[in-house]
Amino acid sequence: MSAAPHLVIAAGGTGGHMFPAQALAEAMLERGWRVTLTTDARGARYTGGFPSAVTIREMPSATFARGGALAKALVPFRLAAGLLTALGRFLSDRPTVVAGFGGYPSIPALGAAWALRIPRMIHEQNGVLGRVNEVFAPRVDRVACGTWPTALPSGVVGARTGNPVRSAVLDRAGAPYPGLDGDLGILVMGGSQGARILSEIVPEAITRLPSSIRDRLAVSHQARAEDEARVREHYEAAGIRATVRPFFDDVPKRLAEAALVVSRAGASSVADISVVGRPSILIPFAAATADHQTANARGLAEAGGALLIQESELDPASLSEHMLAILTTPATADRMRQGALSHGMPDATDRLVSLVEELGGKGTP
Ligand SMILES: CC(=O)N[C@H]1[C@@H](OP(=O)(O)OP(=O)(O)OC[C@H]2O[C@@H](n3ccc(=O)[nH]c3=O)[C@H](O)[C@@H]2O)O[C@H](CO)[C@@H](O)[C@@H]1O
């Protein structure tokens, strides 16, 4: 009997890297693979959702992005120590495939896989490669792209996989559109942290809608905790039905009930909106590294699913006009919904699994 094939997943830092990693870990376990996750202390905050069968190895954090001068000076040594540890582990227990999801903890694992010629891949969630993925893109067998299109170095060919979405989102993939005749759900989302600019502009834009629309609205507005009371008061004063919270645990349900979504363009938000299939107005976070949120929004906008508005061009009057045009024109809303669905990748996890199996020589037990 041959031993189970072994996938080492390396991911760090943020939920953005960890959630797709978790989706792949779950799927590979189901296929009989052994799965090890390598991450750092920041990533370790997100490992609670991983199945207990996943072996979790925490490594010392090493990033130039935070910490004092001493911590930064130590980064090369920490990475070298991490690389040696990974080499030692891989020599004694050679993985079948190594998959990096971005962030500094993926450097030692991908570096060791490269040195030992172990089949390896990266998954990039955003439309622009992150720093670590940029270094490894020409040095891996496959570059899986969560966002399509993704800007890649010349000579590197990406595989379109999409970003895995939560099962509660998948349950609502292509959910029937609520239509524009009755209640009008509007979901306002600012990513996992909320977005101040959306709290400053969107309530004002909604208040400017004609009363024939306003009276039928059911707004779900995610606002940062410090903005929550002010946003709620704004809607109350305008007589608009609204639920305001710093974070909605039931976004998949609210997405399905929404006639229109106004959102930042984080990779997972764009994936969720596309998979459920809702018209959206996307306002990329202008300060995101390499303007990656604009890159995240572009494919969905080009598919006709979203209107892309830059922060610098965002004002209540024009936003209100755009919202009105969608909320009063069923043909437009339907075209946008179809565009979003055509862009969505509900099978992103399966596509990642196929890449891993292909790299591992389909070595399922
Ligand atoms: C400010 C910033 O730099 N954000 C980055 C961060 O995104 P961040 O994690 O902020 O945003 P994402 O859009 O990727 O993910 C947010 C997720 O939270 C969900 N949600 C949101 C609000 C809410 O109330 N409830 C809820 O469940 C959304 O449906 C989505 O699934 O990592 C992403 C992936 O690398 C990047 O694309 C983003 O640019």
Q: Which residues make up each annotated binding site?
A: 14-16, 126, 166, 192, 293
The domain 6-165+347-361 having CATH identifier 3.30.210.10: the answer here is no
Percent of the chain clearing pLDDT 90 (strictly above): 84
CA distance 194 to 222: 6
CA of 2 to the centre of ligand 1 (A): 41
The whole model's pTM is what? 0.94
128-167 pLDDT, tens digit each: 999 999 999 999 999 999 999 999 999 999 999 999 999 9
Laid out side by side, the sheet with 55-58 consists of 55-58, 34-39, 6-10, 97-100, 120-124, 142-145, 158-160
Q: Is a pLDDT exceeding 90 seen at residue 272? A: yes
Q: Name the residue of 122, 131, 133, 192 whose CB sits within 8 Å of the most ligand 1 atoms, as the mutation to test its pocket.
A: 192
Q: What is the DSSP letter of 48?
A: G
Report whether residue 61 contacts ligand 1, using a CB cutoff of 6 Å. no
Q: Is 126 in the pocket of ligand 1 (CB under 6 A)?
A: yes
State the distance from the centre of ligand 1 to the C-alpha of 282, rounded, in angstroms: 13
> What residues does 7 pair with on adjacent strands?
35, 97
- Can you tell me which atom of ligand 1 is nearest the CA of 17? 35
Domain positions in the chain are 6-165+347-361, 170-343
The one-letter amino acid at 225: A
Ligand 1 atom index nearest CA of 289: 3
CA angle 211, 214, 216 (to 5 degrees): 115
The amino acid at 233 = E
How does pLDDT run across 201-238, given as a tens digit for each residue?
Answer: 999 999 999 999 999 999 999 999 999 999 999 999 99
From the centroid of its chain, how far is CA 285? 14
Element (H, E) at 212: helix 211-214
DSSP 280: E
Determine whether the shortest distance from the Cβ of 222 to ligand 1 is under 6 A.
yes
Instruction: Domain 170-343: give its CATH code.
Output: 3.40.50.2000
And the tokens for 360? 């591992």
Let me know: does 351 contact 208? Beta carbons within 8 Å.
Answer: no
ipTM above 0.90, yes or no: yes
Closest residue CA from atom 28 of ligand 1:
269
One fold for 6-165+347-361 and 170-343: yes
CA-nearest residue for atom 29, ligand 1, is 269
